[in-house]
């Protein structure tokens, strides 16, 4: 009985190891079905042969010539009791053997030849339709291992073909000899583990939350896997006309997977709907095996913190929306000074600085939350302030620096009004307005009459006024009285400075506004205030929110103590003889 019977029955050549099935096919030449070396001259073997002429011949075991092995012998063509190869019969001799693959998944398969030789040489070894060429050919005794590629071995009948090329010598007695010597086997390892897809997932998720699946519960081994998503009803029946989304085909076994968002090429997911999630696996022996789960997408509660708003310092505003609360929904506000956090849809807040509030709504049955924010801007107290000379020679540039203004103005404007030395407007006199500029003022030069500015006249007084305004403050002014001297005006060194006026240069012999000098500025708490007037002066101190923090009467010299007050900018308002003079100090 030939070795092929043993291959068909799988007797003594199949065994299990760790859920694997190993099949060994003996490829040795000159070996009988029991594994014993055949007697010389026997024609029994699993190998068949075709010659260069195409005729199918039997093979015979040959003598004890080179090489010799205890478990193999040479096989050669045999025909009518004589060697088949005739003088000049060169070409390919094709040796074939068949075996049956099992109906399970192949993990790996390898041909091993501890000893392989041929006369003249082995040129190729094929498994079914896949050829493993031997570029150099094998003639002498060799050790060869051939790992097969996936798919070479099939379920059912398989064929191994070994091609021996013969080029007979012209020297007797070797003119007809050819043959093949094999000591080796084909080992096939099958998996007996079923290919079973399985994954875990939540039964529902909140809209917008990641949909994460865990496929590590699947068993295999799998060559590839793929995920799909399609809209369905609660029982998992796909919705009519719904489009199925497919992930890429991934190699190997599945693991943790998060369905991508639409922006990343994922499916369109809508709240309040059900989706059928499918995992499919496949390998060499199993077409796609599938498993599915249904996931519901919970809608988020509706939440509205209201529109952003701007309020004046010291004011309050209502944020959120009124009306009924949603059934089963709770609310919580978070923001500066909200302790404990309010739990109503609508609240009233009184921020002192610009503040952002967050309203979070929670559905108590699903645990889904949604948030909205609202920002309340607090318009600060504004104060106009500028520096510049009080005395100008006619023709000097009238430049003033208003960078000390504070509070965040929306608009500002400059005016030039003809006045008396005490600041009383002159009836019918010059009254000029600049354009209204957006934002905060800086350094500004009043344009000349030729450039659209005021036509100032020497020998006269003018009130220079800067006014600011924003959403919460009306126009906040700051004024300064200047004098335009005619030439000669005490020498140009006085131009652009603020000395005491030479009264001989004035046309009405009036007194100028009193001067106040504050030092050190900036200071750490103690400020010295010097004045050139002995008239009673009311001094008021305001912080940047417009709050009056101190009010005193002074004459000549006064020491202002702001120790213990908050660091920052303070405005000083001096009122003397009905006239107002403003100064700015910085407390460090």
What is the predicted pLDDT for the residue at 281?
A: 93
Q: How far, in Å, CA of 533 to CA of 558, rounded?
A: 12
In a domain, 97, yes or no: yes
What would the pLDDT profile of 259-310 be if each residue is shown by its tens digit? 999 999 999 999 999 999 999 998 866 778 999 999 999 999 999 999 999 8
| The pLDDT of residue 325 is above 80 | no
Q: Is residue 219 part of a domain?
A: yes
Q: Return d(Cα 106, Cα 108) in angstroms, integer.
A: 6
Q: Structure tokens of 201?
A: 């997932």
The answer to whether residues 293 and 327 belong to one domain is: no
Those residues with Cβ within 8 angstroms of residue 15's Cβ, 6 or more apart along the chain or in another chain: 21, 22
- 44: in domain: yes
Euclidean distance between CA atoms 75 and 94, whole angstroms = 12
Domain that holds residue 235: 204-298
Residues 154, 73, single domain; the answer is: yes
Query: Are residue 25 and residue 144 in the same domain, yes or no?
Result: yes
Selected residue with higher pLDDT from 547 and 343: 343
**What pTM, to 2 d.p., does this model score?**
0.50
3-state secondary structure 290-304: EEEEEEEEECCCCCC
The alpha-carbon radius of gyration of the chain (Å, integer) is 52
CA nearest to 128, candidates 91, 105, 153: 153
Residue 411 and residue 514 in contact, taking contact as beta carbons nearer than 8 Å: no
3-state secondary structure string, 143-190? EEEEECCCCCCCCEEEEEEEEEEECCCCCCCCCCCCEEEEEEEEEEEE
Alpha carbon dihedral 261, 265, 268, 274, in 10-degree steps, equals -70
pLDDT at 379 over 90: no
7 has pLDDT over 50: no
State the CB neighbour count (10 A cutoff) for residue 305. Answer: 24
468 pLDDT more than 80: yes
Q: What digits encode the pLDDT tens for the residues 534-587?
A: 788 888 998 877 788 898 888 877 889 898 888 888 888 888 887 778 888 888
First to last CA, the chain: 111
In a domain, 578, yes or no: yes
Contact (CB, 8 A) for 569 and 544: yes
pLDDT band at 86 (very low <50, low <70, confident <90, very high): very low
Is there a cis peptide before residue 514, judged by omega within 30 degrees of 0?
no
What pLDDT, on a 0 to 100 scale, did the predictor assign at position 60?
Answer: 66
Which range is least confidently modeled, 7-16, 47-56, 382-391? Answer: 7-16
Are residues 316 and 287 located together in one domain of the fold? no
pLDDT of res. 258: 97
Are 96 and 179 in the same domain? yes
The domain boundary, picked from 379, 409, 424, lies at 379
| 412: in domain | no
- Could you say which DSSP state residue 219 is in? B
Q: How far apart are CA 431 and CA 420, in angstroms?
A: 13
Are residues 148 and 211 part of one domain? no
The domain boundary residue, chosen from 169, 191, 213: 191
- The band of 63, judged by pLDDT with boundaries at 50, 70 and 90, is low
Domain identity same for 339 and 244:
no
CB 491 within 8 A of CB 499: no
Q: Is residue 443 situated within a structural domain?
A: no
Same domain, 267 and 335: no
Q: How far apart are CA 435 and CA 438, in angstroms?
A: 10
The answer to whether residues 294 and 349 belong to one domain is: no
In a domain, 468, yes or no: no
pLDDT at residue 373, rounded to an integer: 96
Within-domain flag for 289: yes
User: What is the CATH classification number for the domain harbouring 46?
Assistant: 2.60.120.260
Q: How would residue 87 be classed by pLDDT, with cut points 50, 70 and 90?
A: very low
Q: Give the mean pLDDT of 161-187.
A: 75
Domain final position from 298, 324, 356:
298
Statement: residue 410 has pLDDT above 50 = yes
358: domain CATH number is: 2.60.40.10
Lookup: tokens for 57: 């011949």
Of residues 84 and 248, more confidence is placed in: 248
Burial class (CB in 10 A: 0-12, 13-18, 19+), 227: buried
Question: Does 212 share its domain with 80?
Answer: no
Domain count, the chain: 4
Report which of residues 576 and 376 the model is more confident about: 376
How distant is the alpha carbon of residue 520 from its chain centre? Answer: 54
Same domain, 278 and 334: no
The CATH number assigned to the domain holding 572 equals 2.60.40.3080
In a shared domain, residues 263 and 142 = no
pLDDT at 19: 63
């Amino acid at each position: 009985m030939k070795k092929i019977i043993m291959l068909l029955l799988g007797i003594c050549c199949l065994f299990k190891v760790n859920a694997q099935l190993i099949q060994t096919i003996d490829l040795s030449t000159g070996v009988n079905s029991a594994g014993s070396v055949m007697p010389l001259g026997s024609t029994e073997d699993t190998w068949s042969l075709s010659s260069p002429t195409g005729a199918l011949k039997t093979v015979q075991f040959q003598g004890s010539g080179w090489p010799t092995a205890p478990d193999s012998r040479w096989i050669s063509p045999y025909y009518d009791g004589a060697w088949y190869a005739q003088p000049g019969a060169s070409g390919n001799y094709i040796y074939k053997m068949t075996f049956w693959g099992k109906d399970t998944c192949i993990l790996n398969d390898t041909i091993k030849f501890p000893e392989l030789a041929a006369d003249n040489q082995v040129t190729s070894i094929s498994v079914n339709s896949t050829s493993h060429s031997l570029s150099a050919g094998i003639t002498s005794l060799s050790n060869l291992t051939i790992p097969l590629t996936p798919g070479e071995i099939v379920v059912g009948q398989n064929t191994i073909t070994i091609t021996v090329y013969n080029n007979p010598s012209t020297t007797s007695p070797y003119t007809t000899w050819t043959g093949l010597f094999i000591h080796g086997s084909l080992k096939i390892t099958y998996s007996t583990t079923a290919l079973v897809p399985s994954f875990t997932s939540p039964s529902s998720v909140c809209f917008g939350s990641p949909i994460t699946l865990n496929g590590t519960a699947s068993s295999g081994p799998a060559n590839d896997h793929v995920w799909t998503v399609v809209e369905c009803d609660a029982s998992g029946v796909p919705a009519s006309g719904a489009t199925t989304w497919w992930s890429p085909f991934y190699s190997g076994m599945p693991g943790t997977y998060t369905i991508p968002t639409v922006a990343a090429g994922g499916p369109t997911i809508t709240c309040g709907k059900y989706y059928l999630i499918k995992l499919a696996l496949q390998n060499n022996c199993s077409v796609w095996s599938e498993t599915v789960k249904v996931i519901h997408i919970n809608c988020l509660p509706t939440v509205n913190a209201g529109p952003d708003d701007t309020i004046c310092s010291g004011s309050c505003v209502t944020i959120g929306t009124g009306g009924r609360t949603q059934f089963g929904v709770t609310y919580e506000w978070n923001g500066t000074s909200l302790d404990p956090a309010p739990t109503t849809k609508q609240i009233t807040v009184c921020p002192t600085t610009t503040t952002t509030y967050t309203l979070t709504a929670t559905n108590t049955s699903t645990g889904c939350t949604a948030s909205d924010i609202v920002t309340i801007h607090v318009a600060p107290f504004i104060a106009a302030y500028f520096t510049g000379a009080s005395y100008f020679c006619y023709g000097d540039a009238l430049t003033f620096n208003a960078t000390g203004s504070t509070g965040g103005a929306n608009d500002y404007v400059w005016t030039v009004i003809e006045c008396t030395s005490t600041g009383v407007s002159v009836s019918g006199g010059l009254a000029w307005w600049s354009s209204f500029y957006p934002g905060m003022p800086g350094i500004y030069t009043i344009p000349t009459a030729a450039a659209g500015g005021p036509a100032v006249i020497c020998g006269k007084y003018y009130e220079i006024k800067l006014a600011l305004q924003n959403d919460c403050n009306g126009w906040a002014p700051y004024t300064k009285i200047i004098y335009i001297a005619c030439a000669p005006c005490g020498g140009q060194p006085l131009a652009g400075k603020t000395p005491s006026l030479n009264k001989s240069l004035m046309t009405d012999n009036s007194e100028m506004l009193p001067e106040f000098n504050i030092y050190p500025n900036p200071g750490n708490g103690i400020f010295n205030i010097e004045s050139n007037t002995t008239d009673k002066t009311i001094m008021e101190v305001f912080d940047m929110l417009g709050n009056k923090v101190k009010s005193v009467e002074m004459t000549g010299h006064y020491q202002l103590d702001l120790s213990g007050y908050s660091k920052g900018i303070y405005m000083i308002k001096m009122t003397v003889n009905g006239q107002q003079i403003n100064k700015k100090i910085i407390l460090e």
